[in-house]
């Protein structure tokens, strides 16, 4: 085989409901569908779905990288994308894998998927319909309102949820140490539902503080922004983190690199969406299925459109 053709299809789609996090209001998802095509016309599809505030490359940087590549591509071009471009690594790596073995359809039941609640007071009216669909694990974004207001809403939400409910709280690194302690104190007092974990309360540069907090409260902590890439997963594990790691597969880097890490380390992983399309989602879910041996719900509660639905 003398080379491969690179196909690019930029996309953008609006969330049905804008995603409110500590980082701000996210209204439009942008990315690239890529194809790696052999001379016989067979094409493997992948997706580049950056999230710059998680530390990935920007979409502009991803496009510039793709346009800088030679035509035709070589296997080296495909499998040696720089580590500074983790979303590109995932896109090229998953496209390469699907060229030889397309990911099969994977059907997770709602009870196996964590449903994303809207931030703020809207969560109180959103959970019943999700519960009726079969979801039992819910994620609620915090660090959006003032802490006293959110803690009051938290009490109302926890009281309203059925006993079998599991709640994840995600601060996206938006709390101070004092605020984190306040949240953990409140979480520890909840007994009628399960608070599965408080996710990334402090920014990644306060790793040592999170490591210490994890030993003093009943409510577990989870890392997210701190472990956005395989290199960061390795780094945090080496520094002693044994709690939950939330892995957004589509921005972690090459799928095989993630497999290698998960195959050689005992880690508590929750696989999560990067709000990719069906192309990236299929590749991410295929990898999640390989390693999600626990009963923890996966974080793929937002269903995106398929590429054919893009304008």
> Which of the residues are catalytic?
141, 248
Residue 299 has what DSSP assignment?
B
- Could you tell me where the beta strands, DSSP code E, fall in 130-206? 137-141, 166-170, 194-199
d(CA 104, CA 102) in angstroms, rounded, equals 6
3-state secondary structure of 6: strand
Residue 8 has what DSSP assignment?
E
* Burial grade of 255 (CB within 10 A; 0-12, 13-18, 19 or more): buried
Given a contact cutoff of 8 angstroms between Cβ atoms, the answer to whether 156 and 124 are in contact is yes
Given a contact cutoff of 8 angstroms between Cβ atoms, the answer to whether 110 and 12 are in contact is no
Show the tokens assigned to 157: 């939400």
Report which of 139, 151, 157 is spatially closest to residue 175, judged by C-alpha positions. 151
Report which of 286, 239, 290, 236 is spatially closest to residue 263, judged by C-alpha positions. 290
d(CA 247, CA 242) in angstroms, rounded, equals 14
Cβ-based neighbour number of residue 2 at 10 Å: 6
Report which of 29, 114, 57, 95 is spatially closest to residue 228, judged by C-alpha positions. 57
């Amino acid at each position: 085989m003398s080379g491969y053709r690179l196909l690019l299809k930029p996309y953008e789609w609006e969330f049905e409901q804008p995603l409110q996090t500590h980082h701000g209001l996210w209204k439009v998802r942008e990315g690239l569908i890529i194809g790696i095509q052999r001379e016989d016309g067979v094409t493997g599809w992948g997706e580049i779905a950056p999230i710059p505030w998680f530390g990935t490359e920007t979409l502009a940087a991803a496009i510039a990288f793709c346009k800088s590549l030679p035509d035709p591509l070589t296997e080296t071009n495909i499998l040696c994308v720089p580590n500074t471009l983790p979303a590109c690594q995932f896109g090229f790596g998953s496209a390469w894998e699907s060229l030889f073995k397309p990911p099969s359809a994977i059907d997770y039941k709602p009870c196996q998927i964590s449903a994303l609640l809207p931030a703020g007071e809207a969560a109180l009216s959103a959970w019943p319909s999700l519960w009726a669909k079969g979801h039992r694990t819910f994620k609620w974004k915090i660090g959006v309102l003032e802490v006293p207001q959110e803690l009051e809403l938290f009490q109302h939400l926890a009281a309203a949820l059925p006993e079998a409910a599991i709640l994840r709280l995600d601060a996206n690194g938006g709390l101070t140490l004092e605020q984190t302690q306040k949240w953990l104190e409140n979480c520890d007092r909840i007994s009628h539902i399960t608070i599965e974990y408080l996710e990334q309360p402090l920014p990644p540069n306060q790793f040592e503080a999170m490591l210490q907090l994890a030993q003093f409260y009943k409510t577990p902590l989870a890392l997210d922004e701190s472990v956005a890439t395989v290199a960061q997963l390795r780094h945090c594990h080496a520094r002693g983190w044994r709690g939950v790691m939330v892995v957004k597969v589509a921005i972690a880097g090459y799928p095989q690199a993630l497999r290698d890490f998960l195959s050689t380390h005992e880690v508590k992983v929750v696989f999560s969406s990067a709000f990719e399309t069906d192309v990236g989602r299929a590749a991410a879910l295929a990898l999640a299925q390989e390693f999600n041996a626990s009963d923890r719900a996966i974080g793929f509660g937002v269903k995106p459109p398929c590429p054919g639905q893009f304008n």
